[in-house]
Copies of this chain bind each other. A is one copy, B any other.
Amino acid sequence: MPNQDKQRGVQQVDVHRIPCSGPGDLSGVQALLDQGVLRATDIVAVMGKTEGNGCVNDFTRDFAATAWCHFLAPHLDCTPAEVAQQVALVMSGGTEGVLSPHFTVFARRWVPAPAAPPGKRLVVGIAHTRDFLPEEIGGAAQIDCTAAAVQEAMQDAGIADAADVHFVQIKCPLLTAAKVSAALGRGATPITHDSYESMGYSRGASALGVAAALGEVARDAITHASVLADWSLYSACASASAGIELEGNVVIVLGEAEGAASPYRIAHTVMQDAIDGDSVRQMLQGALDSNEAVTQRLVNLLAKAEASPNGAVRGARHTMLNDSDINATRHARAVVGGVLASVVGHTALYVSGGAEHQGPAGGGPVAAILRVLP
A1 in the interface (beta carbon within 8 A):
no
A214 to chain B, nearest CB (A): 27
Task: Report the separation of the CA atoms of residues A177 and B328 in the bound assembly, to the nearest whole angstrom.
Answer: 12
- CB-CB under 8 A from A319, the residues of chain B are 51, 57, 95, 99-101
Task: Report the separation of the CA atoms of residues A178 and B168 in the bound assembly, to the nearest whole angstrom.
Answer: 32
Return the contact of A63 from the options B53, B63, B337 (Cβ within 8 A). Answer: B63
Cβ < 8 Å to B, chain A residues 322-343: 322-327, 330-332, 334-339, 341-342
Return the contact of A197 from the options B52, B194, B337 (Cβ within 8 A). Answer: B194
- CB-CB under 8 A from A210, the residues of chain B are none
Task: Report the separation of the CA atoms of residues A60 and B275 in the bound assembly, to the nearest whole angstrom.
Answer: 26
A228 to chain B, nearest CB (A): 7
Q: Indicate if the CB atoms of A324 and B196 lie closer than 8 Å.
A: yes
CB-CB under 8 A for A63 and B276, given A98-B318, A331-B96: no
Name the residue of chain B whose CB is nearest to the CB of A341: B275
- CB-CB under 8 A from A321, the residues of chain B are 176-177, 195
Name the residue of chain B whose CB is nearest to the CB of A319: B51
Name the residue of chain B whose CB is nearest to the CB of A330: B326
Q: Copy number of this protein in the oligomer?
A: 4
CB-CB under 8 A for A341 and B326, given A24-B63, A335-B334: no
A181 in the interface (beta carbon within 8 A):
yes
A170 in the interface (beta carbon within 8 A):
no
- Chain A, interface size category, equals 35 or more
Name the residue of chain B whose CB is nearest to the CB of A69: B70
A74 in the interface (beta carbon within 8 A):
no
A317 in the interface (beta carbon within 8 A):
yes
A22 to chain B, nearest CB (A): 7
Q: Indicate if the CB atoms of A326 and B177 lie closer than 8 Å.
A: no
Q: Indicate if the CB atoms of A275 and B59 lie closer than 8 Å.
A: no
Task: Report the separation of the CA atoms of residues A95 and B347 in the bound assembly, to the nearest whole angstrom.
Answer: 22
Segment of A106-114, A122-130, A137-145, A308-316 in the binding face: A308-316
- CB-CB under 8 A from A52, the residues of chain B are 59
A55 in the interface (beta carbon within 8 A):
yes
Q: Indicate if the CB atoms of A332 and B97 lie closer than 8 Å.
A: yes
CB-CB under 8 A for A59 and B63, given A314-B345, A327-B324, A341-B275: yes
Name the residue of chain B whose CB is nearest to the CB of A323: B57
A68 to chain B, nearest CB (A): 12
Task: Report the separation of the CA atoms of residues A318 and B36 in the bound assembly, to the nearest whole angstrom.
Answer: 29
Q: Indicate if the CB atoms of A194 and B195 lie closer than 8 Å.
A: no
A-B contact pairs, 8 of them (CB 8 A): A52-B59, A58-B324, A100-B313, A178-B311, A181-B310, A196-B324, A277-B342, A316-B346
Instruction: Name 8 extra pairs, CB < 8 A, besides A96-B334, A318-B347.
Output: A23-B62, A59-B60, A97-B97, A97-B338, A178-B311, A275-B342, A276-B342, A314-B345
